[in-house]
Chain A
Amino acid sequence: MIARLRVRRGTADEPATRYQEFAVPFETGATVLDALIWIRAQQDASLAIRYSCINANVCKECLIAIDGEVGYACTTRLHHDAVMTLDPLPGKPVLRDLVTETRPPRERLK
């Protein structure tokens, strides 16, 4: 079985210009983050996403918009019945793809 994802791509200079569609193998229980990690390893290493704890849901870094709802990629289950649309967290400047500027202001260089 296959899950299909539409992922918004773009950089700070050209934010949110396009969606790219990926097909990933579906396994019961798999998460959106699993799919994004699979895409990075198997199809497109340039896809940018923030995550640290992988799926313990303690680092809280992987917050994005999934089908229009804000959620953690690491705990949102993948589904295979319809295309899932992934966007960067709304209201934050985009750095690249699904990565937004979520660092506290005092943790930035500039």
Chain B
Amino acid sequence: MTDLATDILIVGAGGAGMYAAIAAARAGAERVLLVDKSLIGRGGATIMAQMTVAAALGEECPDDWHAHLDDTLAAGRGLCDENLAALLCRDAPARIREMEEWRVGWARREDGRIAQVTAPGHSRPRCCYVDFLNTGPAVAATLRRRIGQIAAIKRVSNLAVTDLVISEGEAAGAVALDIAEGEPVTIAAKAIIIATGGLTRIYHRNSASANMGGDGHALALAAGAELVDMEFVQFFPIGHLAPRLVGMDPIMWDPFRYKLGGRLLDGAGREFLADYGSDESEGYTTPRDIATYAIQKEVAAGRGSPHGGVYLSFTHVPRSALAAAFGPVIERLKKNGIDLGTVPVEVAPIAHYHMGGIAVDERMATRVPGLFAAGEAAGGANGANRLSGNAIPEALVFGEQAGHAAAHYAAGRCLPNWPSRAGAAAIDQIRSLSEGCKGDIAAVELLEGMREVMWGDVGPFRTAAGLARAIARFEEMRQVLAQVAVPAGQQFNAALADWFELRGSLVAAEAVAHAAAARTESRGAHQRDDFPNTDPSWARSQRLAMTSDGGLMMDTRR
């Protein structure tokens, strides 16, 4: 068995994890181990981001991070952790300028300044991007290049952390599955940063990477950390629906709505956002939660498009303007049989981002000493609804804080004295599963079932009955875990990795459903059909912890 040792273990190598590694090395950590279930810097959400990055750079007009904070707090519907939100807005400009020094290639105005557009919810043009639809891939590639140049950072791909090891109340390391070899690996660590991203992969319609099933949330809970704001899942209103589009992120349409004023139309070709109190005569300004609500209500009323969404139309835009805005994307769309000059596309809400996550303070520390979280996996900064453009700054800024804080925590500490009995059960679990399990259902089939339940009963609209049904289903599925079929085999045994994904995703799914059931009001991204109004007495966050028997415990006190 391989036994690794490191000062800082970083679980997840998207934007937050990669930046945390850079920051930890910069703060003096001599050994940083960056691991991912997928390939380093290729999974996660950052690389999928085709949109914009918010930072008060003031390139287009005067701006100030306090104004960015005001917009962030307004979008969060009264629930943002103001300290975390302030940190995000304060440090975003430095991180974005640093990315420019690292040659990410932000799009420029004719006068050479960085171009910034006004994304919905922002009071001024603040959102920069890399053309065309290349923001996330450019950020990911820049960070990959950077970590490759730092000797202190060791990278391991296809290593799935299955359990954290807590010794005497402190983070001490982890047990992981080496997916390529099908063997357990132990990792002794002085500090751990969870940067596993969000959990939107647990929804049937999602814009996530395959490795975003919420396993980091399950790891944190089991280690003794709390989760916060779990009920708030952002459903991106205009996710692509039809015709089938491949080779592009399903949420690619938003920047073109800002640039060109794409019109949202019901099945009969009528504009409907004004019916929901949103005036778009001055441009595209409708926040995500309201647009999702409007689209779902139109579809429910029988006024949707043929595939169950609404139309997004650019047919009123001159072809020359389409060509200028879309650039090479026009050709990619043509390969998908889409000609924007003549026909609208169909769009519908899609699970896109999770506002909730692991509860942390401004140092990104959880309540477990030595355990930190960063990026989308950390909750609180975005409250009940995330302002567009805040996800990549969150990854970079929180990654920076976590890397720095973890390096300081680890400095001067001894390597925890293990492996011992602490990791034994986790190691045995991997070994016994790789020898095969007889069963009548595959983990991947249960995962599909879980995603359907999440979409139907824990999706954009929720009721007490639906949420109770979902919780009962997840409990049943948890009981079935022991009867899941795993074919024997070690090297790249996909079913073995699926089993651990299912175990983690079920915890994450239950956490979202429990928090949604407890919040008897509608606020931001959490919409209850049985409690349609916002209740001022609910202007507080809920926290979840795991009990000693593996159950979930709510705490609504602040």
Interface residues in chain A, defined as those with a beta carbon under 8 Å from any beta carbon in chain B:
11-13, 27-31, 40-42, 45-49, 51-61, 74-75, 77, 95-97, 99, 101-104, 106-110
Chain A residues whose CB sits within 8 angstroms of the CB of B536 once the complex forms: none
14 pairs across A/B with beta carbons < 8 Å?
A29-B337, A41-B445, A46-B487, A46-B494, A53-B47, A56-B248, A57-B247, A59-B43, A61-B39, A96-B494, A101-B180, A106-B148, A109-B2, A109-B156
A interface footprint on B167-196 (CB within 8 Å = 1, 0 otherwise): 000000000001011000100000000000
Q: Compute how far the CA of A61 lies from the CA of B37 in the bound complex, rounded to whole angstroms.
A: 13
Are B442 and A41 in contact, with the CB atoms below 8 A? yes
Distance between B92 CB and nearest chain A CB, rounded to angstroms: 23
Contact A59-B491, Cβ < 8 Å, known A75-B247, A107-B155, A109-B181: no
* Minimum CB distance partner of B442 in chain A: A45
* Minimum CB distance partner of A13 in chain B: B491
B104 proximal to A (CB < 8 A): no
Chain B residues whose CB sits within 8 angstroms of the CB of A59 once the complex forms: 38-39, 42-43, 47, 209
Interface residue SS majority, chain A: loop
Chain B residues whose CB sits within 8 angstroms of the CB of A74 once the complex forms: 246-247
Are B42 and A61 in contact, with the CB atoms below 8 A? yes
Are A60 and B181 in contact, with the CB atoms below 8 A? no
Are A95 and B180 in contact, with the CB atoms below 8 A? yes
Are B445 and A52 in contact, with the CB atoms below 8 A? no
Given A29-B337, A55-B247, A74-B246, 12 new contacts (CB under 8 A)? A41-B442, A45-B444, A45-B445, A45-B485, A48-B492, A48-B494, A52-B42, A52-B211, A61-B42, A107-B40, A107-B157, A109-B2
Are B157 and A108 in contact, with the CB atoms below 8 A? yes
Are A96 and B156 in contact, with the CB atoms below 8 A? no
Chain A residues whose CB sits within 8 angstroms of the CB of B178 once the complex forms: 109
Are A61 and B38 in contact, with the CB atoms below 8 A? yes
Distance between A68 CB and nearest chain B CB, rounded to angstroms: 21
Q: Which residues of chain B (192-232) have a CB below 8 Å from chain A?
A: 208-211
Are A58 and B494 in contact, with the CB atoms below 8 A? no
Are B489 and A11 in contact, with the CB atoms below 8 A? yes
Are B210 and A54 in contact, with the CB atoms below 8 A? yes
B438 proximal to A (CB < 8 A): no
- The 3 A-B residue pairs whose C-beta atoms are closest, nearest first, are A29-B244, A45-B442, A96-B492
Chain A residues whose CB sits within 8 angstroms of the CB of B271 once the complex forms: none
Are B159 and A109 in contact, with the CB atoms below 8 A? yes
Chain B residues whose CB sits within 8 angstroms of the CB of A53 once the complex forms: 42-43, 47-48, 209-210
Q: Compute how far the CA of A54 lies from the CA of B42 in the bound complex, rounded to whole angstroms.
A: 12
Are B47 and A45 in contact, with the CB atoms below 8 A? no
Are A28 and B244 in contact, with the CB atoms below 8 A? yes
A interface footprint on B326-345 (CB within 8 Å = 1, 0 otherwise): 00000000001100000000
Q: Compute how far the CA of A54 lies from the CA of B246 in the bound complex, rounded to whole angstroms.
A: 9
Are A41 and B156 in contact, with the CB atoms below 8 A? no
Q: Compute how far the CA of A29 lies from the CA of B50 in the bound complex, rounded to whole angstroms.
A: 22
Are A40 and B244 in contact, with the CB atoms below 8 A? no
* Minimum CB distance partner of A46 in chain B: B487
Chain A residues whose CB sits within 8 angstroms of the CB of B210 once the complex forms: 51-54
Contact A47-B494, Cβ < 8 Å, known A58-B136, A58-B137, A61-B39: yes
B483 proximal to A (CB < 8 A): no
